[in-house]
Amino acid sequence: MPCSCCIIPNDVLTKLSQDKKLSAVLRKQLVDTVQVSHELRELRTQTAKLTNVVAARAAGLVTLAAAPSVTVYDCKHTQTLPGTPVPKPKTSSDGSVKRTFNQTTKVAKFYQQVFNRNSIDDHGMTMMSSVHFGAKYNNAMWNGSQMIYGDGDGSIFVDFTRGNDVIGHELTHGVTQHSLQLAYSGDAGGLNESISDCFGAMFRQWEAKQDVKKADWLIGRDIMGPGAKKRGFTCLRDMADPAAKHCLAPQPTKYSQVTPGMDPHYASGPPNLAFYTACATLGGYSWAKIGQVWYHSLTGFGPMPNMTMKTFAARTRQGAHTLYPGDAAVFAAVDTGWKKVGL
Amino acid sequence: MDRLKIERVGGFAGFGGPHLKSRGEVALSDLSPADQKTVEQLFADPKKVAPAHPGQADAFSYRITRGAQTIEVPEHAVPSTIRNSVKDVLE
Ligand SMILES: [Zn+2]
C-alpha cells in the first residue's frame, strides 16, 4: 500500500524515490504517492471551480426544480369528487382530459419560468383537476385543493376546459390561497377575482407570445357557446372595456361603483381595468414588468385576507418603485391604471 | 308555502348578472323527507351550514325563497333535487 500522505512536499518525495539507499519497493511506493498527490490536487482544483459555479448560479437553481405532478380525474358527469383517475392524461383520447393536462402543465411552466414559482403553493404541490363534473355544468372552480371543470350546456357555454384563460384563472385562485389568502367578498373578493383574471389573461398572452397591443384582453372567449354568440356576446368579461355590450357579464369600471354585497366577478371590473391600463400604457409583454409588479404584490408580503383595493393599489405603486427603481415608466403606468378607476 | 323558488348565482361566469340567469322551482312536498328536513334546517339558520374549504372560489350559491323569506346558501349545502331544478338562461 503506497503512502498517500500529502504533508511531505512532492519534490522531497521525488528526491527520496530516486535515493538508491532505499529499497526498490519503497521507492516505487514513493513514486505512486507523488502521482496520487497530483491527482488529488487536480480534484481539489476542479471541486473549487464547481463550487464557484454553483455559488454564482445559486439564485437561478430553483428553476431546475422538478416540475409539479399534474393529475386529471374523470367525474363522468357526476358531482362526486375527485372521480376516476385517468392513468395517461397526456395521451388520452378524451379532449377534455388531454387539454386539461396539457394546459395545466403549461400553467406550471408559466409560473416557473415567468415568476420563478414552483406550483400553486411554491413547494411543488400536485396540480389536480377533475373534468366532466356534473351534467351540462356551466362552471369551473377551485375548491380549495383542486380544479373542477364542467362540460357546459353546449348552448350558453361549451366545455370550460377549452379556455386556457379559464385554466389559468382557476389555478391562480390556488396561488392566491397560498399567498395573500384573500377573502371572497367585498374589496378582497373583487381583488381575488381580478388577480385570477389578470394571471389567466397573462398566461393566455404568454402562450400565444402576444404583446399588450395584440392581445384581446377577453376572459372566457373560447368557452362561449353558440347561443351566447348568436346574441352578440363574445366573452364573459373584457379587461380593456369591462362594461362593454359584448360582455355576457359586464362589470363596473370605477371603484366608486363597487358595492359591499357585490358578486366578486363584478367587483373585479375596476382592478381588471387598472391592470389592463397599466399594461397598455407601458407596452410590451404584460408579464414582463406590470405582471411582475402584480405578482410581487400578491406573493411578497404574507396573508392579508381583508385587503382593500386601495391598499393593493398602494402596494403595486410601491412595488413598481422597488422592482424597477431606474424605470420611472413602470410606476407611471401603474399609477395611470389605478387613477383610471378612481384609486 | 309549499313552493320553493330557486336562483343559482355566482360561479366563474357570475350568474345572477344582467344577462345570465339560472332559475328553478320545486314543491317542498315533492322532496324526500331527508331533503325536506335539510331545507327546514337551512331556513332555520342559513349561517349554520358547514363552511366551504378555505380558499374556495367560483362555486355557485343558491338563493332559495319560501314565502317571504329568502336565504342564500353555498352549493355544497343544497340537496341535489334543488340543485338540479334550475335552468340556465340568457336574458
Ligand atoms: Zn374566479
Each domain of chain A, given as residue ranges in start order, spans: 3-56, 70-162, 186-340
- A234 and chain B in contact, CB less than 8 A: no
Q: Which three cell numbers stand for residue A175?
A: 396561488
Report the C-alpha gap between A92 and A98 in whole angstroms. 6
CB A32 within 8 A of CB A59: no
Residues whose CB falls within 8 Å of the CB of residue A244, separated by 6 or more in sequence, listed in order: A238, A250
Cis peptide before A305 (omega within 30 of 0): no
Domain A186-340 top-level CATH class: mainly alpha
- The pLDDT value recorded for residue A167 is 98
Fold type of domain A70-162: Elastase; domain 1 (3.10.170)
CB neighbourhood size of A13 (10 A) = 20
pLDDT score, position A190:
98
User: What pLDDT score does B52 carry?
Assistant: 82
Q: What are the chain B neighbours of A184 within 8 Å (beta carbons)?
A: 56-57
Residue A64 burial (CB count, 10 A): 7
CB-nearest partner of A144 from B9, B10, B53? B53
**How is residue A217 annotated by DSSP?**
-
Q: Report whether B83 contacts B75 (CB < 8 A).
A: yes
Q: How many domains does chain B have?
A: 1
Which of A78, A156, A169, A224 should one mutate to test binding to chain B, selecting the residue with the greatest count of B CBs within 10 A? A156
Segment holding A37, helix H or strand E: helix A24-57
Contact B14 A176 (CB under 8 A): no
| Angle, vertex CA A228, rays to CA A218 and CA A78, nearest 5 | 95
Task: State the pLDDT at residue B46.
Answer: 87
Greatest CA span in chain B, whole angstroms? Answer: 36
CB-nearest partner of A139 from B11, B18, B52: B11
> CA of B64, closest CA in chain A: separation in Å?
17
A106: its cell numbers: 403549461
Please give the grid coordinates belonging to residue A144: 380549495
Instruction: Identify whether the C-beta of residue A123 lies closer than 8 Å to the C-beta of residue A195.
Output: no
Active-site choice (A132, A169, A170, A193): A170
In the 8-state DSSP scheme, what is residue B24? E
Q: Is A170 a catalytic residue?
A: yes
User: Does the pLDDT at position B37 exceed 70?
Assistant: yes
- The parent domain of residue B56 ranges over 3-90
Q: How many Cα atoms are found within 13 Å in the side-chain-facing hemisphere of B48?
A: 8
C-alpha cell at A60: 437561478
Please indicate whether, in this complex, the C-beta atoms of A141 and B16 are within 8 angstroms of each other: no
Counted residue by residue, chain A has a size of 343
For chain A, 343 residues long, the average pLDDT of each consecutive 10-residue run is: 50 66 66 60 54 49 67 97 97 98 98 97 97 98 98 98 98 98 97 98 98 98 98 98 98 97 97 98 98 98 98 98 98 98 98
Q: How far apart are CA A129 and CA A127, in angstroms?
A: 7
User: What's the pLDDT at A61?
Assistant: 47
Q: Are A153 and A136 in contact (CB under 8 A)?
A: yes
Chain A residue numbers touching B72 (CB-CB < 8 A) = none
C-alpha cell at A316: 403595486
Distance from CA of B67 to the nearest CA of A (A): 23
Torsion of CA B31, A151, A129, A215, to 10 degrees: -130
Q: CA torsion A193→A109→A211→A281, rounded to 10°?
A: 50
